[in-house]
Amino acid sequence: MKPEESNLRLSGTGSFRETALKVLFRLPCKPNFEYFRSIFFPKMKEKEIRVNFKPQQLVVYVEKEDGSYGQMVTGSYLSKHYLDDFFDKIRKWDKTLKEQLKKGEISPVYYYLIMREFGEGDLASRVGISRRALKKHFTMDGFKQMKLSLVKRYAEAFDIPVSALFHFTVVSEKDAGKLSVSFEESENPYFSLSKIELAEPEKKD
Amino acid sequence: MKEINFEHKMAAHCETGTVKALLNHSGLDITEAMVFGIASGIFFGYLESANFPLPSFIVRNKPGSIRTNISKRLGIKFNTQKFRSAEAGEAALDKLINASIPTAAQVDFYYMEYMPDWQRVHINVHFVNVVGLNEKNYLLSDSYFPKKSELAKTTFTKARFVGGYMAPKGFIFYPEHIPGNIDFVPAIRKGIKKAARDMTRLPVPFIGVKGIRKFAKKVVTWPGKARDIDHLSHEIMKINILLEDQGTGGAGFRFLYATFLQQAAQLLKDGQLEGMSKRMMAIGDDWRNISYFAAKIGKQRDLGSERLNELSEMINNMADQEQAFFSELYKMAK
C-alpha cells in the first residue's frame, strides 16, 4: 500500500524551530517523557545503523532522512561482532562432550541434543517417544538398549546417517581445512558412505 | 526449471514477508508493515517449556495468525492444505507450481541450506514461497535471503514433514480470492485494538506486558538453569538474536510496528497516531539497548547477579513503557 500524502506527517528531522512547533501542535493525550525524547532524540536512523557484513544480510526498519519509516537491508550486527565468540563456544562444547562420550559418561543422543540445540520436548516429539524415554537415552545404559529402528529415528531427527551415532570421523589438526568429510546416503537407510575429499580453497570476495 | 514470474524481495519477517509477497503478486498493493499491523503481529510472551533448551520469549503473535488475521480483516480467502503423507504433499505442491501458482510452505528452518550455517536452527514455523521447480530442486523465495535459491526437493520435503513442536505437516497456502476496493480503515482499527488488548488486558501471567515483567523477574534465575557459564552466555546472547536477528525488523518487531503506525496515521490522517508511531520507535530504541547490553555481557561472561539485575531492570522498564503505550493505544482504537 502506498500511504496517501498527508500534510499531517511528523518528521523526526528538521530544525529546532520546526521540531518545537511539532511538539506544540501534536501533543498526545498524555504527554510523557518518552514522547518528548522520541522527538528530540530519534536514534534509529538509516545511516547510523548500517552494518557491513555480507554473509548475513537482514531487513531492519529505520527512520529515513525524510522522517518516514521504512526498510533497509543491512548486515547482522551480532554476527559481525560476536560470531567468533559463538564458534569458540561451539568448539568448546564439541570437545568437552566428545571427551565425555569417549568415557561413556553421556550418549550420542545427548551429544546431538546439545549440539543441535533441541529442547527435550521438541526432540521427543520428533522421534515419537515420551520425554521420560528420551531422558533414558542420554546415558549409555539407556542408549545401548535401544532398537536399531529407534536409533534410525534419532538419526533422522538429527539429520545424520545412522552410523554417525556410533562414530566420529576426525581430521587431524595438521590437515584441518585441507580435507572435508561428508556423508552420502544409500538406498539402504542403515548404510551410508563417508566421503573424505580435498577441501576446495576458500573463495575470497 | 519451471519458474513463475515472481518478484523476490527480502522482508523483515518470514510470515509477513511471505503473505505480503503473495498478495503483491496477486495485485494487492500492501506493505509488510501494514500486513503486520493489521494482523496484530506485535506481542510478547515469556515461555518456560520443555520444547526449548532454556526459557525463551516470543515477540510476535502465534505463527499462522498473520495469515488468518489478514484473511479475516481484509476478506481475503486463502487456500490452505495439510497432508498426512509426504508423497501427497509433494505432489500437491508440484501441481500448484506447474499451474504457475506461487505457494507458501511452512518448513523447519534448519533445512534451508542456502542460509549461513550458524543461523540454521530447528524452528518449525518458517515460511517460504515456492516459485519454481525442476525434477531435482525447488526454487524458493525466502524473505531472509537476498536472492531466490534452489533447494533439493528431498531436503525441502523433509523440512515440510519433520515432526516436533508445531510440526508443519506439509502445510501450504496461497491467496484464492482478493476482494476489490478493500477498506483498510476498519481493518487497521481492529488490528490495533486486538494488539493493544493482547499486550495489556489478557489475564495470562506470561503474556503481553505481564510477560515482559515475568521475563524481567526470571532472567536473574537463568544461571541456575544453564549447564555452565558458556551456556548461560549463549542463552543471554540469544536475547539479541530473538530481538534483532531472527526476522523481527529490529527491536523485537517494535520498529516494524512503528512503521505500521506511521503508515496507518497517514492513511487515517490521524496526527495522534503519528505521535504514537514515534513513541513506538523510541520504545524500540530501548529494546535495542537491551539487545546490545545482552550481547556485550554475554561475550564478556560478565554474568554475575549485579549485571543480570541490571538487565532485569532494563526489561522491567520496557514493561512500564509498553503498559503506558498500549493502554493509550487501546483507548484510541476503542
CATH of the domain at B88: 3.90.70
The DSSP code sequence of chain A is: --PPP-TT---S-S-HHHHHHHHHH---SS--HHHHHHHH----BHHHH----TTSEEEEEEE-TTS-EEEEEEE-HHHHHHHHHHHHHHHHHHHHHHHHHHTTSS-HHHHHHHHTT--HHHHHHHHTS-HHHHHHTTSHHHHTTS-HHHHHHHHHHHTS-GGGGT------GGGBTTEEEEEEE-SSTT-EEEEEEEPPPPPP-
Residue A19 has pLDDT above 80, yes or no: no
Residue A3 has pLDDT above 50, yes or no: no
pLDDT, chain B, mean = 97
Give chain B positions within 8 Å (CB) of A87: 118
In this complex, the residue of B143, B163, B269 whose CB is nearest that of residue A8 is B269
Give chain A positions within 8 Å (CB) of B279: 28, 34-35, 38
Sign of CA dihedral B64, B65, B68, B73: negative
One domain, residues B13 and B119:
yes
Inter-chain CB proximity A60 and B164 less than 8 Å: no
φ and ψ of B86, to 5 deg: -65, -35
Other C-beta atoms closer than 10 Å to the C-beta of B118 total 14
One domain, residues A32 and A92:
no
One domain, residues B14 and B124:
yes
Give chain A positions within 8 Å (CB) of B269: 4, 6, 8
Selected residue with higher pLDDT from A171 and B228: B228
Residue of B nearest to A12 (CA): B278
* 3-state SS class at B319: helix
One domain, residues A36 and A49:
no
Contact with chain B for residue A130, Cβ under 8 A: no
Give chain B positions within 8 Å (CB) of A59: 10-12, 143, 249
**A176 falls within a domain:** no
* 3-state SS class at B303: coil
**B62 falls within a domain:** no
Give chain B positions within 8 Å (CB) of A158: none
What's the pLDDT at B49? Answer: 87
Could you say which residues from 166 to 185 on chain A have a Cβ atom under 8 Å away from some Cβ of chain B?
Answer: none
In this complex, the residue of B53, B165, B237 whose CB is nearest that of residue A82 is B237
Contacts of A21 (CB under 8 A, 6+ apart): none
Residue A194 has pLDDT above 90, yes or no: no
Selected residue with higher pLDDT from A123 and A36: A123
Last residue within a domain, chosen from A33, A59, A75: A75
One domain, residues B93 and B22:
yes
DSSP H helices, chain B, are 14-25, 32-38, 65-74, 86-98, 153-160, 184-200, 208-218, 229-240, 254-268, 271-299, 305-333
One domain, residues B325 and B212:
yes
What's the pLDDT at A21? Answer: 39
The distance from CA B175 to its chain's CA centroid, rounded to whole angstroms, is 19
One domain, residues B127 and B209:
no
Kindly indicate the confidence band of residue B77, based on its pLDDT and cuts at 50, 70 and 90: very high
Kindly indicate the confidence band of residue B297, based on its pLDDT and cuts at 50, 70 and 90: very high
Rounded to the nearest 10 degrees, the angle between the axes of helix A120-127 and helix A148-158 is 120
Q: What is the mean pLDDT of residues A130-156?
A: 97
Residue of A nearest to B23 (CA): A1
Kindly indicate the confidence band of residue A199, based on its pLDDT and cuts at 50, 70 and 90: confident
Give chain B positions within 8 Å (CB) of A78: 237, 240-241, 244-245, 291, 295
One domain, residues B244 and B196:
yes
What's the pLDDT at A6? Answer: 31
The ipTM value here is 0.94
Inter-chain CB proximity A125 and B31 less than 8 Å: no
**B112 falls within a domain:** yes
Inter-chain CB proximity B247 and A58 less than 8 Å: yes
CA distance A17 to chain B (A): 18
One domain, residues B143 and B225:
no
Give chain B positions within 8 Å (CB) of A73: 10, 146
What's the pLDDT at B17? Answer: 98
**A175 falls within a domain:** no
Inter-chain CB proximity A127 and B163 less than 8 Å: yes
**How many domains does one find in chain A?**
3
One domain, residues A98 and A147:
yes
What's the pLDDT at A202? Answer: 63
Selected residue with higher pLDDT from A202 and B44: B44
**A with B: how many residue pairs have Cβ under 8 Å apart?**
204
One domain, residues B172 and B193:
no
User: A107 is in which domain, residue-wise?
Assistant: 79-167
Inter-chain CB proximity B164 and A93 less than 8 Å: no
Inter-chain CB proximity A59 and B270 less than 8 Å: no
User: B111 is in which domain, residue-wise?
Assistant: 2-30+77-177
**How many domains does one find in chain B?**
2
